[in-house]
């Protein structure tokens, strides 16, 4: 019957972790962008260097050929000439390259940069062995990436420390708010003088809320106390006057029956007032009015008080053998709860037998042969209880009030019914088991 509870506090992400994650993620994206940009710029500059170097070398070579007819090119350790008047034949692996600069070419398993130029309608190629430089470039890239990761790690530690210091006042004020106890008046959330503007706003707003809530609670407490007195006094007067009148000699039987009806109604109204006042109080404060109750002795009394409701019907109320069962609770509330359920069973039954039994550890079971309720009507009772109000269209005020009372006092109410086949109502006074953790 309980509404779905929010996620537990330990499953919620802390603000500090969210800020740290956002900043670190932003820095990681920025670092990747910078590294990528650096590699692109390095590749662009590298091509400019290769082109400038090889263009200058080829221009110098062609000038020597033109100015010195006997000049002969000799390949160096890292530059080779293919084509032209003195160059080696162009190998098949290089025949498909047109004029321009080409890098990242594998020649004999080594990274090579190739410059192609048409001279006298014949291709001339200068091939530069870039393997040593590419190895150095890969080492430099690894160093850059390692430096970026190290910077990111150090920045994460520094940002984590800064964020922790910045959010510590929020953590502190959250802990102080969490330590507030609802039943202790005059509590405040201390706001340090050096607190930031945001922390001061939160603290002041919560303290203002505590002040307003304390005034509201005081007004409600006064109203409840006054209402309890103002409602119970006339009810006691009515019940007392009816009792005295019934004891007068010579009272006609018809009048005596009406006076007994007034007494019963006054008793039921007093129980109903007690139930409504309980719903207006904090369950923790009810321990002052709780007492030890023997349910096996109380249940027959409640059944006896409600047998008159079955008069005029072909209806019997059976009380099974009752085991010894006791609990600690406010007596008027237990009487009102069981009485409401029993009265509801009688009012919704025309003939047959109502079975009342008691089960350990503290469970009252009432089975009636009445009209029964549909699953939709049962769900409506639970829904009204969950939203603490609503109209009563099926099931009666008794079940609605008892459902709300069970929610308030952490009892269990279970209803099973089919149309035309009666209703089984179980009132369990034991606390509800907590929902399993997800």
Over the stretch 132-162, which tens digit does the pLDDT of each residue have?
A: 887 887 888 888 888 888 888 898 888 888 8
Which of 58-62, 185-189, 270-274: highest mean pLDDT?
58-62
Per cent of the chain over pLDDT 70 is 82
Per cent of the chain over pLDDT 90 is 1
The answer to whether position 50 is within a domain reads yes
Please indicate, yes or no, whether residues 277 and 292 belong to a single structural domain of this protein. no
Neighbouring CB atoms inside 10 A of 327's CB total 15
Please indicate, yes or no, whether residues 312 and 407 belong to a single structural domain of this protein. yes
- What does the block give as tokens for 173? 């004020």
CA dist 45 and 127 (Å) reads 19
Contacts 24+ apart (CB under 8 A), 46-50: 46/103, 46/137, 47/101, 47/103, 50/101, 50/103, 50/113, 50/115, 50/128, 50/130
What value, to the nearest 5°, has the Cα angle with vertex 307 and ends 301 and 310? 160
Number of domains in the chain: 3
Please indicate, yes or no, whether residues 235 and 348 belong to a single structural domain of this protein. no
The answer to whether position 408 is within a domain reads yes
CA dist 181 and 176 (Å) reads 10
Task: Report the CATH number that the domain containing residue 426 is assigned in CATH.
Answer: 3.30.565.10
Pairing of strands 314-319, 351-359: parallel
In angstroms, the Cα distances linking 384 to 53, 143, 173, 398 are 87, 68, 37, 12
Please indicate, yes or no, whether residues 437 and 292 belong to a single structural domain of this protein. yes
- Residue that wins the pLDDT comparison between 40 and 386: 40
CA dist 166 and 7 (Å) reads 26
CA dihedral 143, 145, 146, 151 (to 10 degrees): 120
Please indicate, yes or no, whether residues 257 and 296 belong to a single structural domain of this protein. no
DSSP letter for 183, please: T
Please indicate, yes or no, whether residues 237 and 121 belong to a single structural domain of this protein. no
Please indicate, yes or no, whether residues 40 and 147 belong to a single structural domain of this protein. yes
The answer to whether position 202 is within a domain reads yes
Q: Residue 436 pLDDT > 50, yes or no?
A: no
CB 405 within 8 A of CB 388: no
CB 76 within 8 A of CB 113: no
Please indicate, yes or no, whether residues 388 and 296 belong to a single structural domain of this protein. yes
The answer to whether position 170 is within a domain reads no
Please indicate, yes or no, whether residues 258 and 310 belong to a single structural domain of this protein. no
CA dist 8 and 358 (Å) reads 37
Mean pLDDT value across the chain: 79
Q: First and final CA of the chain: distance in angstroms?
A: 18
The answer to whether position 5 is within a domain reads no
Q: Residue 435 pLDDT > 50, yes or no?
A: no
CA dist 326 and 320 (Å) reads 17
Among the three residues 105, 136, 152, which one is the final residue of a domain in this structure? 152
The answer to whether position 171 is within a domain reads no
State the pLDDT at residue 2. 42
CB 27 within 8 A of CB 152: yes
Please indicate, yes or no, whether residues 83 and 104 belong to a single structural domain of this protein. yes
The answer to whether position 173 is within a domain reads no
| Sign of the Cα pseudo-torsion (80, 85, 91, 95, in order) | positive
* Residues 82-123 pLDDT 10s: 887 666 788 888 888 889 998 888 887 788 888 898 887 788
**Mean pLDDT throughout 41-62?**
86
Q: Residue 74 pLDDT > 70, yes or no?
A: yes
**Mean pLDDT throughout 325-350?**
84
* Residues 390-428 pLDDT 10s: 444 433 346 677 777 777 778 888 888 766 678 888 898
CA dist 126 and 36 (Å) reads 30
Please indicate, yes or no, whether residues 267 and 127 belong to a single structural domain of this protein. no
Among the three residues 131, 152, 173, which one is the final residue of a domain in this structure? 152
CA dist 235 and 242 (Å) reads 11
Contacts 24+ apart (CB under 8 A), 257-260: none
With a CB cutoff of 8 Å and minimum separation 6, the contacts of 158 are: none
CA dist 51 and 131 (Å) reads 16
The answer to whether position 164 is within a domain reads no
pLDDT tier for residue 365 given thresholds of 50, 70 and 90:
very high
- The pTM of this model reads 0.46
- What does the block give as tokens for 273? 């007032």
DSSP codes joined into one string, 311-330: TTSEEEEEEPPPPP-EEEE-
Domain hosting residue 91, numbered range? 16-152
Please indicate, yes or no, whether residues 413 and 292 belong to a single structural domain of this protein. yes
DSSP letter for 121, please: T
- In this structure, of 2-6, 219-223, 321-325, 363-367, the range with the lowest mean pLDDT score is 2-6
Q: Residue 36 pLDDT > 50, yes or no?
A: yes
């Amino acid at each position: 019957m309980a509404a779905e509870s929010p996620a537990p506090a330990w499953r919620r992400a802390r603000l500090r972790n969210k800020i740290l994650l956002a900043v670190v993620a932003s820095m990681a994206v920025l670092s990747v962008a910078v590294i990528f940009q650096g590699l692109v710029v390095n590749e662009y500059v590298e091509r400019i260097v290769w082109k400038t170097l090889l263009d200058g070398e080829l221009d110098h070579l062609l000038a020597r050929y033109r100015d010195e007819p006997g000049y002969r090119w000799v390949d160096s350790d890292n530059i080779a000439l293919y084509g032209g008047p003195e160059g080696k034949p162009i190998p098949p692996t290089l025949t498909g390259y047109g004029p321009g600069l080409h890098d990242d070419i594998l020649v004999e398993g080594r990274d090579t940069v190739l410059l192609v130029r048409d001279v006298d309608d014949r291709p001339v190629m200068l091939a530069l062995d870039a393997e040593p430089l590419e190895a150095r470039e890969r080492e430099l890239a690894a160093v850059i990436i390692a430096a970026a990761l190290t910077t990111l790690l150090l920045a994460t530690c520094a940002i984590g420390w800064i964020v922790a210091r910045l959010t510590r006042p929020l953590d502190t004020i959250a802990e102080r708010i969490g330590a507030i106890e609802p039943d202790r008046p005059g509590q405040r959330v201390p706001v340090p003088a050096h607190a930031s503007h945001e922390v001061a706003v939160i603290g002041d707003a919560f303290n203002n809320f505590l002040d307003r809530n304390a005034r509201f609670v005081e007004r409600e407490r006064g109203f409840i106390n006054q209402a309890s007195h103002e409602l119970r006094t006339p009810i006691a007067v009515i019940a007392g006057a009816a009792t005295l009148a019934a004891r007068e000699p010579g009272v006609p039987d018809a009048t005596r029956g009406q006076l007994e009806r007034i007494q019963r109604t006054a008793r039921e109204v007093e129980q109903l007032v007690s139930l409504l006042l309980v719903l207006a109080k904090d369950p923790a404060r009810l321990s002052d009015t709780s007492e030890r109750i023997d349910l096996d002795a109380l249940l027959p009394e409640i059944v006896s008080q409600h047998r008159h409701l079955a008069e005029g019907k072909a209806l019997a109320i059976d009380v099974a053998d009752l085991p010894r069962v006791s609990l600690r609770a406010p007596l008027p509330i237990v009487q009102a709860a069981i009485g409401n359920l029993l009265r509801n069973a009688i009012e919704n039954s025309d003939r047959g037998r109502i079975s009342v039994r008691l089960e350990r550890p503290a469970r009252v079971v009432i089975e009636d042969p009445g009209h029964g309720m549909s699953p939709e009507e049962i769900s409506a009772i639970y829904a009204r209880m969950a939203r603490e109000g609503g109209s009563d269209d099926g099931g009666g005020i008794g079940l609605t009030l008892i459902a709300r009372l069970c929610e308030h006092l952490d009892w269990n109410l279970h209803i099973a019914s089919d149309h035309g086949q009666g209703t089984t109502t179980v009132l369990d006074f034991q606390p509800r088991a907590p929902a399993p953790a997800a």
